[in-house]
Amino acid sequence: MTPQNPPASFYRTTEGLGLWEHRGKVAAVGVGHSPTARRWDGTPETCVGAWSILALRRAIADAGVSPNQIDGLVLDPVTTTGAYWPEGVPVPMDVVNAFHPTSDPLDGIAKLSAEWILQNMPELTNIQFVMYGPRCMSHAIVVAAQAVGEGLTHTCLVLKSWHNFEGRYYQGGANAQDTIDGTSAISRLWGTPASYGTALQFAEYCRKYGKTHDMMAPFISNSRRNGLLFPEGYWAQHRPEPLTTEDYLAARWIAKPANLFDNDIPIMVSAAYLFTTPERAKDMQQKPVYILNHTSSRATPRSLTPTLEEVEAETAKTGRKLYEGAGITAADLSFENMYDGFTLFHQFHLEGLGYRGIKCGEALDFYQTDISIEGPNPVSPSGGNIGSGRSRFWMHTDCIQQLQGRAGARQVTGVTPEIAVSGGPMPLGGNFTVWSATPD
């Protein structure tokens, strides 16, 4: 079965669309995670394909369905943004042949096709719909939600996986060469690391509103604290280290004003969800969490990198679109779980949402108040990528688990978990979801 690419009609990218036509008619009913690791150890049991299968099977079991009830699969075929199979290094055929391979030997090792998944999960006998939701789980969720809403699939697995190899992220490849092509050079010749653009926006923000980098410390500490309460996460599993204010302020710069702990740590991990219709959800094991709306940002900067003005405009627009389609206001949010892969843009998401009435320039002050899971204004209760490593899906899992009452030690207690938002990655360019404990 050839995976489809999502049509443009799947995405809610503009204002004025009114309520999402499938509001409350798509439910998340199962969650499955693989273990985490810092890097692949080279064995078949832990390759990205194997852990994808594990996450999918756990989601299926969590929902309490049999595999033949599942008729849809949405996944991201790309499993990295910065760790590539080294040129010239032979692909380990013992790993390739430990599975039913596709024609691409890196499938299941450094990428992931639907074909590879379906060949290696024979229990999925009834898949009728396969689509890619590229780049991250936020995107896959939007695609799956729309597909279920439109009746293209009634019980759909949603998968996002990450691999990581030896060596440093983003090093090697074109960055290690003595030359660079002319088009890439326009933006890459000056050697900016991935967090540079966000660092620039933050620098402008601090100048404009009279804030300082130090004010980020409570957000960092809070995020890592929450992450250490996330047993599926990397830090909880491997290095249960809090991040204190001293730790944060002593960290070296990467692209000043972004320091080491403003950046997430690449890891290996997979997560899968099971989406279905509310009618089917009644017979499943977990309390359904309903999707009230999804929205997408397809904004691009005018030139090389987004300005603060562009970021503030787009995040505000995202907030308006989210509320319009869900039929809610900012006051209805129990908590927020927006993306934090670079910590320095989380506040733009918060301000765009108008979370707890925050306006532009106020988020860093808000961080100095009680933003804990026990308080009235939880910020990033998942802990995000800072709390659990680079996955771009802790925020989604947490929304589902919080609204199901299954977040364990991380369960918010200062608010009643009823409605939440999650999504990313960037302020410009991302996909966002409104989740609810009830369908209306």
Partner 1 sequence: MSAATTVRLTHAQKGSYIVILISFDIDGTLEVGDPPGVLTMAMVKRVQKQGCWIGSCSDRPISAQRAIWAQHNISIDFAVGKLMLPDVKAKFVADMYYHIGDREDLDRKYALDAGFEFLWPHEAIVHPWFL
Partner 2 sequence: MAKQGVVPDALTQPFWDAANEGRLVIQHCRACNRLQHPPAPTCQQCGSRDHLGWQEMSGRGTIYNYGVVYDCPIRLLQQDQPFNVAVIMLDEDPGIQMYSHLPGTPVDQVPVGARVEVIFEATANGQKVPEWRVVGESL
Q: Can you tell me which of 1, 187, 188, 253 binds partner 1, judged by CB under 8 A?
A: 253
305 binds, among partner 2, partner 1, none (CB under 5 to 8 A by kind): partner 2
Q: How far apart are CA 100 and CA 115, in angstroms?
A: 10
241 binds, among partner 1, partner 2, none (CB under 5 to 8 A by kind): partner 1
Q: Can you tell me which of 191, 212, 359, 416 binds partner 2, judged by CB under 8 A?
A: 191
> Is there binding between residue 203 and partner 2 (CB under 8 A)?
yes
Of 73-81, 225-233, 239-247, 405-413, which segment contacts partner 1 by CB under 8 A? Answer: 239-247
> Is there binding between residue 250 and partner 1 (CB under 8 A)?
yes
Q: What is the DSSP letter of 380?
A: -
Q: Can you tell me which of 99, 116, 169, 261 binds partner 1, judged by CB under 8 A?
A: 261
> Is there binding between residue 170 and partner 2 (CB under 8 A)?
yes
359 binds, among partner 2, partner 1, none (CB under 5 to 8 A by kind): none
3-state secondary structure of 432: strand
> Is there binding between residue 194 and partner 1 (CB under 8 A)?
no
Q: Can you tell me which of 8, 9, 176, 357 binds partner 2, judged by CB under 8 A?
A: 176
> Is there binding between residue 386 and partner 1 (CB under 8 A)?
no
DSSP for 98-140, please give it. Answer: TS---SSTTBTTTB--HHHHHHH-TT-----EEEE--SSHHHH
Q: Can you tell me which of 114, 243, 255, 415 binds partner 1, judged by CB under 8 A?
A: 243
> Is there binding between residue 175 and partner 2 (CB under 8 A)?
yes
Neighbours of 181 (CB within 10 A): 10
Residue 35 in tokens: 């273990």
CB burial string 210-238: b at 16+ within 10 A, e below? ebebebbbbbbbbbbbbbbbbebbbbbbe
> Is there binding between residue 246 and partner 1 (CB under 8 A)?
yes
Q: What is the smallest separation between the CB atom of 52 and partner 2, expressed in angstroms?
A: 28
> Is there binding between residue 193 and partner 2 (CB under 8 A)?
yes
- Interaction with partner 1 in 24-53: which residues (CB under 8 A)? 38
Strand order in the sheet with 335-338: 129-132, 72-75, 155-162, 269-276, 27-33, 289-297, 430-436, 419-425, 335-338
3-state secondary structure of 366: helix
DSSP for 23-74, please give it. Answer: TT--EEEEEEE---BSS--S-GGGSHHHHHHHHHHHHHHHHT--GGG--EEE
- The answer to whether 334 and 419 are in contact (CB under 8 A) is yes
CB nearer partner 2, residue 205 or residue 273:
205
Applying CB under 8 A, which residues contact partner 2?
A: 170-171, 175-183, 185-194, 196, 199-200, 203-204, 207, 252-258, 300, 302-305, 307
The residues binding partner 1 (CB under 8 A) are 38, 239, 241-244, 246-247, 250-253, 260-261
